[in-house]
Amino acid sequence: MDYKVHIGYGFHVNCYHSYRGDTNDELGFGGDIRVIRKIIELLNHCNGQGIPVKGTWDFENAYSLEEILPKYAPDIIENVRERVVKYGDENDIMGYSNGALGAMTEDEFSASIEWAVTNPNGSGLLDLFGECARIVRPQEMMFTPSQIKSYKRMGIEALCLYYSCVPFDGFRTIIPQLPDEQAFNPVSYCYEGEKLTVIPTYSNTDIIDAGTLRYLAKELHQKQLSGEINNDVFILINMDADAILWEPLELPGPLGKLANTDGIRGLVMEVADLDFVVFDTPAGYLKNHPPLTDIEFTQDTADGSFTGYSSWAEKPFNRQIWTRLERARALARAAKCDKESPSFFDRVMLLSTTHFGLASPVLNVEREKRALALSESMMQKELAVCPAVQKLTLANPNDSTLVSAQLAFDSGALPEIGRLEVKAKGLAQFGAIEMDKHADGSIASAFVICRFKSKKAQYPVEIEVLEKAPRAQGTRTVQSENLRVNLCSHGEVVSVYYKGKQIGGRDFLRSYLTYDKAHSYFSAKHLEPLPAAGAVQGCRLAGEIHLPQEVKPGSYSIDLFTLPGVDCVFTQLRVAYPYTREESAISTHSSALGRFTDMKWQQSVPMQIRPALTGDLQIVKRNFAHELSAYRVASFWSSVTENTRLDSFNNQLTGGMVGLSNGETGLVIANARQVLGSMAHCPMRLAQKDGQAIVRMNPFGTYHGKQRRHPTRSNGAVGDSFVMVAPQARSIAPAYNGVCENSIMALFAYDGLLPEGETLSDICAFADGAVVLEPENQEKVHAFTRDNVNFSQIVSNAVAPEKLKSVITSGIVPGPVEIGKIVVKAFGNIVKAQRKAK
């Protein structure tokens, strides 16, 4: 058979960045415009020489095609339109606002895809270019398995997901490795009886890992000739359109002849003379090439640091704007609308991944300002249309009698939490704990939990203040019906039991920071009685946090408590992180943050939980379409045998809950999404002991360390180089410097793999929370609308474009000797492949 090697070149166009600002220079989107123009110029030159190369474009619509390019580079739109007609270029779908597709509700997701194709503003791919393939290259590879049905319903034929040799990856390290015949062909992703085509996609780094594109093409063709591959193959190269590897690097002397340094021109010219090469596009290849095999995985995918959601979910700033999003969603649910709600468009815009990452350790200062302004506008639109009520009301959108909410109190209205009384018709039980205080010592906000006798859509309540508060009682055992946490006198958890079976020991709960390569454990722990209202019983662990070079020390408290009739242990985590001087600048051509930071921060672990579960461990999760699922921890080392230990993994979207189960017993951490949340708030760490997997969970924290191992076609130097230059490879921990955060969670233990019945109902009800509706002229008690995360003042770093440093300093930069070794290995691999491919 005369099998061919098809090659496609894909350009991911998003001019709205988390690590740069909004100016037409190297501090903003100027680099995008320069590189894209060069790509078009070089493609046109190749076509002019008779080379039938085609480009594949996936444009972000809202910011790039509506705002930036029409104003600063309308020629780019016109030239791509011309290439579509003249040379057969293809436009694939990214998503209207480069949104976090995997973390969206069903309506948000549908709108993002639909508006990318066509929209009233005229920025859809059909609107501008006259054609659009029904193929999605999701922004940042964000995908959640249950969306397979939505993609198919919307007529999407395929997804492009990275299958890469570096941590900028989608699914390479979560399925058994594919042989080349399947790795360079469409495959069928299978989930719950549905199938959707996935095109394994590669970046420029994968080409460098292979040595050269010519060498890779000839290697694959040789396998076709030998019979090892009995099909055509498709090398789809897709990378951000601002990547420097798309434009000629203009290196001096002999270096200028090195492969992979001449941009898109070099990638085309080095294979143009091969008679077995066909220049193609994803839709073009799919016409005659059906999927070759089936694949399955149940992880949520993203291509951030540690090959998951770390980059967009673990910064405190992520949680600030995500929690606002959750509140807007809740208000829309309470009004029984989603797509028709006044905040809907703003929500889709806020869900741009750019407002959450990829930048590390923090976002560009201008990007934060825009995200804050947009999220504030979104909230105000929802609050302005809240339904009128006669008295303070808890609107209950869930199928449960468990209702909870955060309430705000005017200064002096509630002198102490123990004096709070909640009354309502059908109320079976209530409890409340303080969350914040006014300067005068009175309660500023409280978290209230109610159990009602029957389910209703709304519960009018009365808030009263008792004359005297009962004395808080101390305890060293916090116990619900089936879950018991035992503590020692100085505040350490010593054991955790579920139905008499131990599921946690002395290492069940740990709190520490890693600073300048050393752990600093939260110190001076002591056990206190828990001030509370109603039927709450519990205790408070409290102490201090110190760092070697702190300007201001930190403090923390962890409340553990129960409420009769709810089989869980609730927790409140309050952390005021120490502050250290911020004197490090991140100002490179790939990442210019406009602020200083302290890069000695490496890990933030405020309340690590280590369940003592053994066996076939699975991560339990719920996405934002409310689908409950799980994935096996063993899938990591079943895919790549070296990945038995992972310093951090975050392939679990946390729509209010995430957990661990061995199939017999499970432990879920539910979080009150309207108090503090993120798209994936709980990174985890994998270790091994005596042949058993150990999983540690780090809610509202961030781990750091080595990236997981990715298979390589060469000597591994490309993976090392990628971490050295990738901005997202830096630790996120500096983002915690001086931050104050307050979260409410609950530990639910249960039988089986996934929680069911009343347990699941209570988990979801607690996680989603109620909406507080207040009448006009309400006094003293209100819906809480402030943030539960606060930041130190930003220390600005203004830098001129010409002062930006080389991209080589963007990531984790080792010493000069190590850099030299990595560079020699990487260039040596290219030279070797270049010689072989002649």
Please write the tens of the pLDDT for every residue from 330-376. Answer: 999 888 888 889 999 999 999 999 999 888 898 888 999 999 999 99
Residue 239 reports pLDDT greater than 90: yes
pLDDT in the model for residue 587: 62
Residue 112: per-residue pLDDT: 98
| Residue 816: strand, helix, or coil | helix
Two structure tokens written together for 714: 């060469």
Judged against a pLDDT cut of 80, whether residue 17 lies above it is answered with yes
How far apart are the C-alpha atoms of 277 and 532, rounded to whole Å?
72
* Higher pLDDT among residues 333 and 485, named by residue: 485
**57 burial via Cβ count (<10 Å: 0-12, 13-18, 19+):** buried
**Backbone phi, then psi, for 526, in 5-degree steps?**
-150, 155
In one letter, which amino acid is 290?
Answer: P
In the chain, what are the domains?
5-303 (3.20.110.20), 393-707+724-790 (2.70.98)
Q: Specify the residue for token string 């931050």.
A: 739
**Distance (Å, rounded) from C-alpha 574 to C-alpha 502?**
27
**Paired tokens of 355:** 């407002």
> Does the pLDDT value for residue 265 go beyond 90?
yes
At 401, is the secondary structure helix, strand, or coil?
coil
At 148 the pLDDT is 96
Predicted confidence (pLDDT) per residue in 118-136, tens digit? 999 999 999 999 999 999 9
R_g of the chain, CA atoms, integer Å = 27
19: pLDDT strictly greater than 60: yes
Tabulate helix, strand, coil % of the chain (nearest 5): 30, 30, 40
168 token code pair: 């900028």
Say which residue, 4 or 815, is predicted with more confidence. 4
User: Crossing angle of helices 717-725/816-836, nearest 10°?
Assistant: 130
- What is the pairing mode between strands 740-751 and 566-576? antiparallel
Contacts of 641 (CB under 8 A, 6+ apart): none
CB-side exposure of 418: number of CA atoms within 13 Å?
A: 11
For residue range 73-111, what is the model confidence (pLDDT) as tens digits?
A: 999 999 999 999 999 999 999 999 999 999 999 999 999
Distance CA 64, CA 16 (A): 7
Flag whether pLDDT at 724 surpasses 70.
no
pLDDT of residue 834: 61
- Tens of pLDDT, residue by residue over 144-154, are 999 999 999 99
With 70 as the cut, is the pLDDT of residue 432 above it? yes
d(CA 674, CA 490): 32
Classify residue 688 by its DSSP letter. Answer: E
What pLDDT does residue 817 have? 59
Predicted pLDDT at 26: 86
What 8-state DSSP symbol labels residue 62?
A: I
For 513, the token pair is 């920071």
CA 830 to chain centre: 33
Collapsed DSSP state (helix, strand, coil) of residue 397: coil
Under the banding of pLDDT at 50, 70 and 90, the label for residue 751 is very high
Extended beta strands in 37-88, E state: 55-59
Residue 65 above 90 pLDDT?
yes
From CA 301, how far away is CA 653, in angstroms rounded? 9
Neighbours of 805 (CB within 10 A): 16
Q: Is residue 532 over pLDDT 80?
A: yes
Look up residue 735 and give its DSSP letter: G
Cα–Cα distance, 426 to 401 (Å, whole number): 10
Please report the pLDDT score of residue 825 as a whole number: 61
pTM for the whole thing? 0.95
* pLDDT tops 70 at residue 815: no
Average pLDDT, the chain: 92
Question: Would you call 19 helix, strand, or coil by DSSP?
Answer: coil
Range name among 339-348, 716-725, 823-832 with the lowest pLDDT average: 823-832
